[in-house]
Amino acid sequence: MRPAWRNCAREYTVSDNTDPDCSPAMPRIALNATVPDAMEGLRLDQALAELFPEYSRSRLTGWLKAGEVLVDGLMLKPRTRVAGGEQIEIEVDLAPVERDQPSDLGLDILFQDADLIIVNKPAGLVVHPGAGNPDGTLVNGLLHQFPELDLLPRAGLIHRIDKDTSGLLVVARNLESHTELVRAMAERTISRTYRAVCHGALTGGGTIDAPTGRHPKDRLRMTVRPDGRPSVTHYRIHARFAAVTAIDVTLETGRTHQIRVHFAHQRHPLVGDGLYGGRRRIPPGGNENLNQLLTEFPRQALHAMALSFAHPRNGEPVAVSAPLPSDMVQLEKALQDLES
């Protein structure tokens, strides 16, 4: 099994380069890490991407090519293979990371202070700009409402959810908070709870502990595989319906498509999941309204409904919840009506 590297030793400090007699300069950051022995044989640019996942690979490669990355005191090329044990030092002035155009999307901000933001993302909204989605993403909307995020890695986003998953995301507003929140995510002290509706009649809660990785033939999909990354999902029953179950899910790890992959692997795919769910299923005895909802539900029935963690500056508890979106409310009501 490929080892997990998130617990490797690393440091992250920030200094303020502001000159009182000039306009404010960009913040300066210093990153330090030791390459774990388990990374032996990886390209240097790949190792950096694993050590500093909060920065894009293109940004890290740019620093490498500019000579801003020292490996045991030497400037090396991105394709150099690491042996394990090397000392990584990066010290740079942090120029704007996201150069995407701000867009007024009217984002639903449920919490904000000087250090962080919690946004309730609607289903259908892409998180990051990319191929096919150069504009109109969550990042563009955040940059419109909070221009200072232009200086932060990935516009301050600490984690992400799929385009067609709705719900909560936490965003840092400054480098100090970003550092602490990234550390909290890596140490699994940010609690994330989801509501999902899956096919089948689950009899009770439990834990799915199954490593996941990229599908060997379909690069768009993830799958359970013995050489995948450790992936753990906890769940409990919220409500049982005819051949469908509403569940509350808590993530111990946060792998790509983890909830969708785990429940599809258990033969309980999420309602509406076109990638992992197979053909649409109709429960016996369903009425016309419910049957139509289940066959035409436009996305995976998955909503990130709660976040809780210690505030990055003062350690006080932060707990935010987001109500179910209208499509999932309508689905659960139709299921309840069938039971009554």
Distance between CA atoms of 38 and 198, rounded to whole angstroms? Answer: 37
Provide φ and ψ at 78, rounded to 5°: -55, -30
Rg for the chain, CA atoms, rounded: 22
- Known catalytic residues are 162
Q: How many angstroms separate the first and last alpha carbons of the chain? A: 48
Contact call for residues 129 and 140 (beta carbons, < 8 A)? yes
Report how far residue 233's alpha carbon sits from residue 255's, in angstroms, rounded to the nearest whole number: 10
Residues 111, 113, 115, 121, Cα dihedral to 10°: 20
Please answer whether residues 152 and 178 qualify as being in contact, where contact means their C-beta atoms are separated by less than 8 angstroms: yes
CA distances from 208 to 171, 253, 254 (A): 28, 11, 13
Token match 């409904």: residue? 305
